[in-house]
Amino acid sequence: MPELPEVEVTRLGLLDRLPGRLVQVVNWSGQRLRGLMPRKLLQEEIAGQRIRTVDRRAKYLLLRMESGAVLVLHLGMTGKLGLMATAVPRHKHDHLVLSLEGDLDMRLNDSRRFGFVGVWPAATAVRLEKEFSDRQGLEPFGPRFTAVNLHALAQRRSIPVKTFLMHGDIVAGIGNIYANEILFAARIHPLTTVSLLTPADWRRIVKYTHSILKKAIAAGGSSISDFLGTSGHPGYFQLQLQVYGRKGEACPRCAATIVKIDISGRSAFYCPHCQGRKA
DNA sequence: CAATATACCTGGATGC
DNA sequence: TGCATCCAGGTATATT
pLDDT digits (tens, 9 = 90+) for A211-268: 999 999 999 998 887 788 888 888 888 889 999 999 999 999 999 999 999 999 999 9
C-alpha closest to that of A121 among A181, A191, A69, A193 = A69
- φ, ψ of residue A36 to 5 degrees: the values are -70, 150
Question: Any catalytic annotation for residue A59?
Answer: yes
| Active-site residue (options: A11, A52, A59, A64) | A59
Dihedral, CA of residue A126, residue A130, residue A131 and residue A134, to nearest 10: 170
Closest alpha carbon to A54 in A88, A13, A93: A13
- Nearest nt to the CA of A159 via C1' is B3
pTM of the model: 0.97
- Provide, in whole angstroms, the distance separating residue A73's CA from nucleotide B5's C1': 27
Alpha-carbon span A189 to A271, nearest angstrom: 8
A266 tagged catalytic? yes
- Determine the distance between A93 (CA) and C3 (C1') in angstroms: 25
Give nearest nucleotide to A34 (CA–C1'). Answer: B8
How confident is the model over A253-270, as pLDDT tens digits?
A: 999 999 999 999 999 999
Which residues in 35-94 of chain A line strand B, with CB less than 7 A from it? 78, 92-93
* pLDDT at A279 exceeding the cut of 70: no
Assess whether A19 carries a catalytic annotation: no
A3 is known as an active-site residue:
yes
